[in-house]
């Protein structure tokens, strides 16, 4: 079988998986953790504990602020010290719950043993509900609440669950290590997701640069004897892990502009999310920790750490020997789509998958020069857009023309800027334009809705 | 670590830069340049030196004194323009003619539009065509190559020029070819009268293959030019072999290889998409053959490329990549 | 020869006449009926097409002005009262004169006062920067220093001061069109009345952080201490969300707040004389002393009357000191909703 990949664009950055041999090791507990109430897409959660309360590991400390929201659990046991705004990694203030760590006592009902529970519950609704209560969000980076994704709108039907094990970003290895070390749990998690979506087929997509993981998962599937779960070996290509790209690669279906994956019958979940689903459903264990790759050529000690949610970044870095002198940039996530950390005092959130250290030479942007119209950005764009054109339009603030040229489809993967030989900050400008276009689209939708409602009201009045 | 750098994603960049791409093109041109030195000797070296130096100096002077902007000569594009211009003129051209050519190429065709990336027409070709119409004597009298350190040669005409002349006098193509003793292996490996870049098709093709392997250019434009020239001339030749030259002759003479491999594939003045490139190539091929067969100039590649350069914006508008998830 | 000339002239003349006729007929046939006043109004407009009035240019402004029954919704900030008077004369409407306005930059976080804590390495645009994070200083409210406002200004009224890293408004060029206000992602620029002879007093800070946090990020920050509000004898200053705001319609330009501000966040511009802080402080001290004594006296007499309607100045102030939301704060809130 030829290896699959998505049909448009993509780039091949060197994969640099230098921490691939490092086993996932648990990080010792920090003295204090700061758990943000805005760790997911959607409304921030509402704290349900008060200052001075004693909490245990896995205890709910914040409840969803809306349908698109998630439970947040304490990742440590100890005393709530404060509930106050604190700067996140971009420096923006967000409400954090500060907990002073005292011991490591887990809440009742959580199974902390290592025994593998393979029996799949029959009730799909119960699975989704347990996922919701476990505070599971998409750990691939978007942190979209998983139970919302698993509750497709009426009229749409899921035909395939895709477990995203591509890890197409360079440097990152936490998903790879999870597949190797917790493959059984991931496969059970996949089976649970499959069950939740109505026993549809399930594909675990893994890129070709992880042959050990592919072999291991194939073995595990055979051993556990689940039917309808297969491993698909993918060609190496960034951004294969993008939701739309992965669906295109696996199912040869393209999700339309502005549409959800479910519109083509697909539900995509990350490997780490599958593990979290296993924990939440089989073990009653909510998301209290996640594996974080700490890496970079200039970083002396590569590691894959199991980190409690809310651990200050500085604590993690100091545990491994501090920020190296040559490091000029710290990135939360991968080098293509990760976010640069402006504030090392920020704490990890559920979606923190990596801390990457880059030197000035690796990351400093070269000065911009004239566009030579080579078309590399257009060739690289996985959405088939024309970044050079969008960049010009964005600088001219011509939002209407940007919309006509599909700026709103941009997935901000960074391929255009990565491949531009003239070092033009394409994505920076396109992102601004995309924001404006999305704003226009939403305003139009709201206006249309208001007009429709007004018409309806007028009609009822007539009657 | 003093202050952390913060920037939007992506945080890494591919190794490509404008400079590295241009350097690849220069490397790809190297075999042809060396060949021209070997066949034409020190005078060709002089032509090359004058051309490159005047192009680079001119760009430097214009950016510094007229535009008052940081200099752009570091991206090496002026060097390429200089090399291409030198390969496009006969080695007997006087130095001042070459300087005029550089002024037109860099000053008029490139910098007036705003420098690299902004020009509509390939600068080296504009310079070449300007010289062709302004100084036809220098540009159309070619000397038989005499090799490195050889003495000056007897002046003659290029194969295309000779055939054009012969046809006007009423001779048939076969007669003319036999009279001049043209054969194809000679064309492929060099030693035919022409401008420096026309001598060795093989060296140029080697450079083209290098560029394709390095993924600097995509082969579609070049291949579609070759295919179109071959097909169209095949049709005409099939109709009347006495009046029209054959496809192989058309492919190997008159700078077609140089034009198709290095001039038509210039990023700035060629379409962005693959299909746009094919259309562009077909246009160039068609125009080249038509100008050669029916035009008053024996050579058509330069004109064909310049004409197609003009319609590139239209081609770009017409041939866009399919957007993901859209019809 | 003469024949040829005559023929040529004749043919050209006839051709010209024929074509003129065609043009005339076509123009007549496709004529668009338009209110001639639109053209008249457009003629008196400044023609900058800046959009400061809220319309898509001077023509659109003229169209809407002619269509409307009054000029309540139409005001050209660039032309000001002079142009509006002309427009009103053409249309026969009445117009209320507005005080001339100017853009005011409400950030005083100079490079010196507001040290950089990290380094931005992206496209130098405030919009890009603010989308990514809170800027390269510890202040998450102040100027980002990339000059989006400067490039938004069509009149060349804004420039970046390389020393302070902050934009500077050239009052003589500023037309108060508001393009910079829209361009600034941090909403630090406000359109305020120019004030008599250009004199105005404003709080040059928008940092809503609590005092110590704001002060740590920037030495010139408003720390929301409220001394200015207590000093002000005209009820012009409100402190809300750790930030003071001077209401230009109430401010009497006494500069007392400026003298009292502990961080120098309050700025007075275009005053003929530099502020003598000590003298003003002394003046305030004496006044407050007197007020205290008077209050004590009042209280005594009030107690006697057992009818405390005459309140001391302090309590009177408190009554007026209802939290009036400043326009800027309201705008910031609206924008938040939009997000």
Residues of B in contact with A341 (CB under 8 A): 4, 6
Q: Is A54 helix (H, G, I), strand (E, B) or coil?
A: strand
Question: In terms of pLDDT, which residue wins out, B186 or C9?
Answer: C9
Question: Buried b vs exposed e over A157-195: b needs ≥16 C-beta within 10 Å?
Answer: ebbbbbbbbbbbbbbbbbbbbbbbebbbbbbbbbbbbbb
Tell me, what's the pLDDT at A320?
92
CATH number for C100-194 (one of 3.40.50.11290, 3.40.1410.10, 1.10.287.950, 3.30.70.20): it is: 3.30.70.20
Nearest CA in chain A to B216: A374
Mean of all residue pLDDT scores within chain A: 92
**Which chains form contacts with chain B, at 3 or more CB pairs under 8 Å?**
A, C
pLDDT of residue C312: 46
pLDDT at B131 over 60: yes
Q: Which two tokens stand for residue A81?
A: 């010290």
Which of A447, C125, C224 lies closest to B7, judged by CA?
Answer: C125
Does C23 reach chain B within 8 Å, measured CB to CB?
no
Same domain, yes or no: A401 and A268? no
A398 part of a folded domain: yes
Give the rounded percent of residues in chain B with a pLDDT score beyond 90.
50
Residue C319: CA count within 13 A, CB half-sphere: 8
Strand pairing of B4-6 and C118-120?
parallel
Q: What is the pLDDT of residues B146-181, one digit of tens each?
A: 554 444 444 556 677 777 777 777 777 777 777 766
Residue A435 forms part of a structural domain: yes
- Tell me whether B273 touches chain A (CB under 8 Å): yes
Q: Of A125-134, B292-301, C217-226, where does mean pLDDT reach its minimum?
A: B292-301
Q: Which of A255, A282, A309 is the last residue of a domain?
A: A282
Residue A443 has pLDDT above 60, yes or no: yes
Distance between CA atoms of residues C12 and C5, nearest Å: 11
Other CB atoms within a 10 A radius of the CB of residue C179 amount to 22
Interface with A, mutate which of C51, C123, C154 (most A CBs under 10 A): C123
Among the listed residues B193, A80, B94, A367, the one whose alpha carbon sits nearest the alpha carbon of residue C124: A367
**A427/B9 Cβ within 8 A:** yes
- Look-up: residue for tokens 């609206």? C334
Judge if the upstream peptide bond of residue A239 is cis by omega within 30 degrees of 0: yes
Query: Which of A313, A356, A373, A403 has the highest number of chain B CBs within 10 A, making it the mutation to test binding with B?
Result: A373
Tokens of A189: 């998690």
CATH number for position A226: 3.40.50.11540
Class of the CATH domain delimited by C36-91: mainly alpha
CA nearest B3 in C: which residue?
A: C118
Alpha-carbon gap, residue B50 to B30, rounded angstroms: 17
Domain count, chain A: 2
Which of C256, C298, C300 is closest to C278 using CA atoms? C256
Chain A interface disruption, residue of B2, B5, B11, most A CBs within 10 A: B11
Interface with C, mutate which of B1, B5, B8 (most C CBs under 10 A): B8
C278 near B CB under 8 A: no
Q: Name residues whose C-beta falls within 8 Å of residue A458's C-beta, 6 or more positions apart in sequence.
A: none
Specify if A303 maps to a domain: no
How far apart CA A419 and CA A9 sit, in angstroms, is 11
Q: Is the pTM of this model over 0.90?
A: no
Q: Work out the average pLDDT over A348-368.
A: 92
Size of interface A-B (CB pairs under 8 A): 156
Interface residue of A85, A410, A432, A442 to substitute, partner C, most C CBs within 10 Å: A432
**pLDDT (0 to 100) of residue C316:** 43
Cα(A414)–Cα(A420) distance, integer angstroms: 10
Min Cα–Cα distance to chain B from A23, Å: 26
Minimal C-alpha gap between B1 and chain C (Å): 11
According to the model, what pLDDT value does residue C310 have? Answer: 45
**β pairing state of A93-101 and A78-87:** antiparallel
B3, B5, B8 member nearest C128 (Cβ): B8
In sequence order, the 6+-apart residues with CB closer than 8 A to the CB of A173 are A17, A19, A20, A22, A167, A293, A295, A304
Question: Phi first, then psi: what are they for B91, rounded to 5°?
Answer: -75, -10
Whether the domain at C36-91 and the domain at C100-194 fall into the same CATH topology: no
Question: Is the pLDDT assigned to residue C35 strictly greater than 70?
Answer: yes
Phi, psi of A55 (to 5 degrees): -125, 155
Residue of A nearest to B217 (CA): A374
Q: Is A279 exposed, middle or buried (CB count within 10 Å of its CB: 0-12, 13-18, 19+)?
A: buried
Note the ipTM here: 0.86
Q: Render pLDDT for B44-64 as a digit per residue (tens, 0 to 9).
A: 899 999 999 999 999 999 999
∠ CA(B142), CA(B146), CA(B147), 5° rounding? 125
Per-residue tokens: B185: 């292996």
Cα angle vertex B6, ends B5, B9, to 5°?
Answer: 125
Size (chain B), residues = 327
Instruction: With beta carbons less than 8 A apart as the criterion, state whether A374 and A419 touch.
Output: no
Range of lowest pLDDT (A59-63, A90-94, A315-319): A90-94
Mean pLDDT, chain C, whole residue set: 84
The Cα–Cα gap between A98 and B55 comes to: 66
Q: Of C120, C123, C131, which has the smallest distance from its Cβ to B6's Cβ?
A: C120
Which residue do the tokens 């914006």 mark? B313
Do B7 and C121 count as a contact with CB atoms less than 8 A apart?
yes
Which of A260, A282, A304 terminates a domain? The answer is A282
pLDDT tens digit sequence for A4-34 = 889 899 999 998 999 999 999 999 999 999 9
Q: A208: distance to nearest CA of chain B, Å?
A: 21
- CA of C242 vs chain B CAs: smallest distance (Å): 28
Residue C333 banded pLDDT, cuts 50, 70, 90: very low
Q: Give the three-state DSSP class for B134.
A: helix
Q: How far is CA C294 from CA C50, C306, C329, in A?
A: 55, 17, 36
Range of the domain at A187: 124-282
Topology at the third CATH level for domain C195-290+311-325? Alpha-Beta Plaits (3.30.70)
Q: Return the percentage of chain B with pLDDT > 70, whole number.
A: 87
pLDDT of residue A67: 85
The size of the A-C interface in CB pairs under 8 A is 43
Chains in contact with A, counting 3 or more C-beta pairs less than 8 Å apart as contact:
B, C
pLDDT in tens, C85-97: 888 888 888 777 7
A429 with C128: Cβ contact below 8 A? yes
Q: Which residue has the tokens 């194939």?
A: A218
For residue C31, give Cα distances in angstroms to B28, B200, B229, C34.
63, 66, 53, 9
Mean pLDDT of A312-321: 94
Q: How far apart are CA C146 and CA C143, in angstroms?
A: 8
CB-closest option in A91, A339, A364 to C134: A91
Which residue of chain C comes nearest to B2, CA vs CA?
Answer: C118
Please give the Cα distance from C188 to C107 (Å, whole number): 7
Q: What is the pLDDT of residue B72?
A: 86
Structure tokens at A114: 């290592």
Which 8-state DSSP code applies to residue A264?
A: G
When pLDDT is averaged across residues B211-223 and rounded to a whole number, the result is 93
Per the CB < 8 Å rule, is C123 touching A428? yes
Interface residues on A facing C, Cβ-Cβ cutoff 8 A: 87, 90-93, 339-340, 342, 363-365, 425, 428-429, 431-432, 435, 439
Q: Residue B4 and residue C118: Cβ atoms within 8 Å? A: yes
Instruction: Compute the mean pLDDT over every residue in chain B, rounded to the nearest whole number.
Output: 85
Q: Where are the domains of chain C?
A: 36-91, 100-194, 195-290+311-325
Residue A463 falls inside a structural domain: yes
SS3 A178: helix
Neighbours of A252 (CB within 10 A): 11
pLDDT tens digits along B76-120: 999 999 999 998 888 888 999 999 999 999 999 999 998 888 899
Given A240, A264, A282, the domain boundary residue is A282
Whether A442 maps to a domain, the answer reads yes
- The helix or strand, by DSSP H or E, that contains position A330, with its residue range, turns out to be strand A327-332
Rg (CA), chain A: 22
DSSP state of B199: S
- Residues C164-215: tens digit of each pLDDT: 999 999 988 888 888 899 999 999 999 998 888 888 999 999 998 888 889 9
Residues A251 and A159 in one domain: yes
């Amino acid at each position: 079988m030829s290896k699959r990949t998505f049909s448009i664009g993509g780039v091949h950055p060197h994969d640099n998986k230098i921490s691939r041999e490092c086993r996932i090791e648990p990080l010792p507990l920090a003295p204090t953790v700061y758990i943000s109430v805005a760790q997911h897409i959607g409304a921030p959660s509402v704290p349900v504990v008060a200052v001075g309360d004693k909490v245990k590991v896995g205890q709910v400390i914040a409840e969803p602020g809306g349908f698109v929201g998630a439970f947040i659990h304490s990742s440590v046991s100890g005393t709530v010290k404060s509930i106050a705004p604190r700067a996140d990694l971009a420096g923006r203030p967000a409400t954090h719950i500060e907990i002073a760590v005292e011991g490591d006592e887990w809440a009742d009902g959580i199974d902390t043993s290592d025994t593998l529970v393979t029996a799949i519950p029959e009730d799909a609704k119960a699975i989704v509900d347990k996922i919701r209560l476990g505070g599971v969000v998409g750990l691939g980076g978007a942190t979209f609440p998983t139970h919302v994704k698993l509750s497709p709108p009426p009229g749409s039907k899921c035909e395939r669950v895709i477990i995203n094990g591509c890890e197409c970003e360079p440097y990152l290895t936490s998903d790879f290590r999870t597949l190797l070390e917790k493959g059984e749990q991931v496969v059970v998690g996949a089976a649970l997701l499959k069950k939740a979506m109505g026993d549809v087929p399930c594909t675990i997509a893994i890129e070709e640069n992880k042959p050990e993981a592919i072999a291991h998962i194939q073995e595990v599937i055979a051993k556990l004897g689940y039917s309808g779960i297969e491993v698909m070996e993918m060609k190496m290509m960034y951004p294969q892990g993008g939701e739309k790209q992965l669906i295109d690669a696996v199912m040869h279906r393209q999700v339309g502009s502005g549409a959800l994956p479910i519109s083509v019958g697909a539900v995509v979940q990350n490997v780490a999310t599958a593990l979290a689903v296993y924990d939440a459903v089989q073990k009653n264990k909510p998301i209290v920790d996640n594996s974080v790759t700490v890496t970079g050529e200039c970083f002396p000690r590569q590691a894959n750490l199991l980190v409690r949610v809310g651990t200050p970044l500085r604590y993690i870095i100091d545990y491994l020997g501090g920020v190296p002198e040559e490091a000029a940039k710290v990135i939360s996530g991968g080098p293509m789509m990760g976010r640069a950390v402006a504030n090392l005092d920020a704490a990890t959130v559920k979606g923190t998958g990596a801390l990457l250290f880059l030197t000035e030479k690796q990351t400093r942007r070269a000065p911009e020069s004239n566009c030579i119209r080579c078309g590399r950005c257009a060739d690289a764009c996985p959405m088939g857009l024309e970044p050079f054109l969008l960049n010009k339009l964005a600088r001219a603030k011509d939002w209407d023309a940007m919309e006509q040229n599909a700026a709103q489809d941009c997935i901000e993967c960074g391929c255009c800027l990565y491949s531009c030989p003239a070092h033009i900050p394409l994505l920076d400008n396109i992102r601004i334009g995309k924001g404006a276009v999305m704003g226009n689209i939403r305003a139009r939708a709201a206006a249309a809705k208001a007009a429709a409602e007004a018409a309806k009201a007028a009609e009822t009045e007539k009657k | 670590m003093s202050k952390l750098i913060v920037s939007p994603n992506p945080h890494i960049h591919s190794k490509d830069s404008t400079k590295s791409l241009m350097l690849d093109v220069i490397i790809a041109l190297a075999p042809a340049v060396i060949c021209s030195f070997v066949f034409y000797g020190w005078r060709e070296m002089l032509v090359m030196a004058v051309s490159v130096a005047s192009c680079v100096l001119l760009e430097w002077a214009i950016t510094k004194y007229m535009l008052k902007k940081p200099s752009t000569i570091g991206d090496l594009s002026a060097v390429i323009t200089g090399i291409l211009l030198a390969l496009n003129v006969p080695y007997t051209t006087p130095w001042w003619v070459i300087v005029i050519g550089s002024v037109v190429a860099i000053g008029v065709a490139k910098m007036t539009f705003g420098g690299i990336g902004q020009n509509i027409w390939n600068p080296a070709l504009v310079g070449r065509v300007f010289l062709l119409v302004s100084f036809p004597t220098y540009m159309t009298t070619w000397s038989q190559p005499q090799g490195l350190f050889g003495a000056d040669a007897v002046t003659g005409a290029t194969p295309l020029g000779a055939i054009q002349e012969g046809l006007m006098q009423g001779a048939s193509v076969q007669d003319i070819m036999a009279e001049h003793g043209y054969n194809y292996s000679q064309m492929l490996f060099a030693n035919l009268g022409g401008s420096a870049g026309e001598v060795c098709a093989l060296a140029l093709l080697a450079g083209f293959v290098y560029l394709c392997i390095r993924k600097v250019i995509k082969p579609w434009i070049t291949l579609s030019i070759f295919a179109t020239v071959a097909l169209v001339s095949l049709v005409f030749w099939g109709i009347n072999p006495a009046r029209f030259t054959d496809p192989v002759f058309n492919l190997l003479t008159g700078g077609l290889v140089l034009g198709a491999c290095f001039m038509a594939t210039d990023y700035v003045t060629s379409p962005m998409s693959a299909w746009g490139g094919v259309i562009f190539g077909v246009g160039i091929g068609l125009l080249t053959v038509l100008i050669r067969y029916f035009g008053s100039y024996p050579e058509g590649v330069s004109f064909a490329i310049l004409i197609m350069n003009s319609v590139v914006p239209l081609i770009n508008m017409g041939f866009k990549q399919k957007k993901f998830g859209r019809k | 020869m003469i024949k040829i000339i005559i023929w040529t002239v004749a043919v050209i003349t006839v051709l010209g006449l024929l074509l003129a006729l065609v043009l005339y007929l076509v123009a007549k046939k496709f004529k668009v009926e338009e209110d001639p006043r639109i053209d008249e109004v457009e003629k008196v407009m400044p023609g900058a097409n800046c959009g400061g009035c809220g319309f898509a240019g001077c023509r659109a402004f003229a169209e809407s002005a002619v269509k409307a029954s009054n000029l309540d919704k139409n005001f050209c900030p660039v032309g000001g009262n002079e142009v509006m008077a002309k427009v009103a004369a053409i249309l026969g409407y009445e117009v209320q004169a507005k005080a001339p306005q100017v853009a005011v930059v409400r950030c005083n976080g100079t490079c010196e006062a507001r040290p950089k804590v990290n380094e931005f390495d992206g496209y130098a645009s405030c919009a890009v920067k603010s989308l990514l994070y809170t800027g390269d200083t510890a202040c998450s409210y102040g100027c980002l220093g990339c000059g989006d406002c400067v490039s938004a200004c069509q009149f060349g009224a804004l420039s970046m001061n390389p020393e302070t890293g902050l934009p500077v408004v050239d009052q003589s060029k500023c037309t108060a069109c508001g393009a910079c206000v829209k361009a600034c992602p941090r909403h630090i620029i406000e359109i305020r009345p120019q004030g008599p002879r250009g004199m105005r007093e404003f709080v040059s800070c928008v940092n809503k952080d609590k005092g110590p946090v704001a002060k740590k990020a920037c030495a010139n920050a408003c720390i929301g201490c409220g001394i200015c509000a207590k000093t002000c004898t005209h009820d012009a200053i409100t402190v809300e969300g750790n930030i003071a705001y001077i209401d230009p319609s109430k401010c009497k330009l006494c500069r007392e707040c400026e003298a009292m501000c502990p961080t120098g966040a309050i700025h007075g511009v275009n005053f003929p004389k530099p502020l003598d802080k000590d003298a003003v402080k002394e003046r305030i001290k004496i006044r407050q002393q007197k007020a205290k004594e008077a209050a004590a006296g009042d209280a005594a007499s009030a107690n006697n009357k057992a009818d405390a309607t005459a309140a001391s100045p302090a309590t009177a102030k408190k009554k007026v000191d209802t939290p009036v939301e400043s326009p800027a704060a309201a705008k910031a809130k609206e924008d938040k909703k939009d997000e």
